[in-house]
Amino acid sequence: MPSPRRSGSLFATLALGAALALAGPGCKKDDAPAGGTKPASGTGAATAAKPGTGSAAGTGSAAGSGSAAVAAPVVDLDSKDILARTDVAASVDVKHVLIGWKDLEKAYRGHMDPRAGGRDNAAAAKLAQEVYDKLKADPTQIDALVKAHSEDPGSLSGNPYTVTADAGMVPEFKQLALRLQLGEVGIVKTMFGYHVMERVAPPPPDSLESTDILARDPVTDKAKVKHILLGWTEVNAGDPRGAKRSRADLEALVTKTVAALKKGDKIEPLMAELSEDPGSAKTGDSYDASPSARLVPPFKNLSLRLNVGEVGVVKTQFGIHIIQRVE
């Protein structure tokens, strides 16, 4: 899940999702909800499911008598007024509460939250509506509601998802996100369940980020990059090293590692020793970055602004990425 590709989380069909591509059921198209195999931790989420690629699981099942049982219709909670808007933002940051139900189990590829596995659609719709009503009444409750109810592991870090038109997320998630106004709340159903979503202000840059490089215009539309993913107690991809690391220790390690790379040390041995991206740490593999690459936006944004051989740092929902452009 820590890889920059958006296939690591539910998002992979929605968001590194858990990999760099994005991590959570937010929605990456190709990945399963919480996990992530080679996806990208920094690139978009490697193994998360990306929103938009699968189809909804069926709700009905055949009765043992030979006649099909009549399944209750899925409750429609979509914010149709918002989805009907033609004014679409280029990039937004959103937080969401994902609420699933047992009939969607196939979409989760074995990673469904036990809470979702124990409820039907009617119960999920009731809870989603309650969360929506609370959020509409007080949008500042988003973090508390995510923590209490969201079944997207990628959302629990408290960091928003950055959504763009070409993001590797399930289409419905993306369609709602890009039409929300700042502070506005909406609901949309995807193959993973109901997403109660709020558009939030972009987070301030992390003190470790290469803000000078990020402020540049892109220098290429095609780059090969290698990276070292490092987490800390507040933001990590699940690696025990990152989960235990203090912020002070993170800052010291990032500073030391960047200095070594700028001095001329090879990145591959440092990846093998330090990186918490299971998709590339041991292999030394590179990621292909382009405007349409299914990588998490921050990872992609930095990659396309680096000159060959240059090193930069950016933060995603998986942690801190030390990225070096190799081609």
Give 120-171 pLDDT, tens digit per residue: 999 999 999 999 999 999 999 999 999 999 999 888 878 898 898 888 789 9
Q: How much is the CA Rg of the chain, to the nearest whole Å?
A: 19
Q: Name the region of 19 (left: φ>0; alpha: ψ -120 to 50; beta: rest).
A: beta
Q: Are 249 and 208 in contact (CB under 8 A)?
A: no
- In this structure, CATH architecture of domain 80-200: Roll (3.10)
Q: Do domains 80-200 and 211-325 have the same CATH topology?
A: yes
- How does pLDDT run across 21-40, given as a tens digit for each residue? 333 434 444 443 333 333 34
Q: In this predicted model, what pLDDT tens digit does every residue of 160-201 receive, in sequence order? A: 988 988 887 899 999 999 999 999 999 999 999 999 999 999
pLDDT digits (tens, 9 = 90+) for 235-289: 888 899 999 999 999 999 999 999 999 999 999 999 999 999 998 999 999 999 9
Contact assessment for residue 104 and residue 116, using Cβ atoms and an 8 Å cutoff: yes
| Domain ranges (residues) in the chain | 80-200, 211-325
In the prediction, which pLDDT does 33 show?
A: 33
Tens of pLDDT, residues 44-56: 433 333 333 333 3
Residue 303 or 11, more confident:
303
What is the fold, at CATH topology level, of the domain defined by 211-325? Chitinase A; domain 3 (3.10.50)
Annotate 73-138 with DSSP letters as a single string: PPP----HHHHT-----SEEEEEEEEE--GGGGGGGTT---HHHHT--HHHHHHHHHHHHHHHHH-
What is the mean predicted confidence (pLDDT) over 60-64? 38
Take residue 232 and report the two structure tokens written for it: 């800390």
* pLDDT tier at 1, thresholds 50, 70, 90: very low
Cα within 13 Å of Cα(170), Cβ side: 34
Mean pLDDT computed over every residue of the chain:
83
Distance CA 88, CA 93 (A): 13
pLDDT of residue 70: 60
Residue 4: predicted pLDDT: 53
2, 22 Cβ separation under 8 angstroms: no
DSSP state of 105: G
Say how many residues make up the chain. Answer: 327
| Among 320, 297, 323, 319, CA closest to 310 | 323
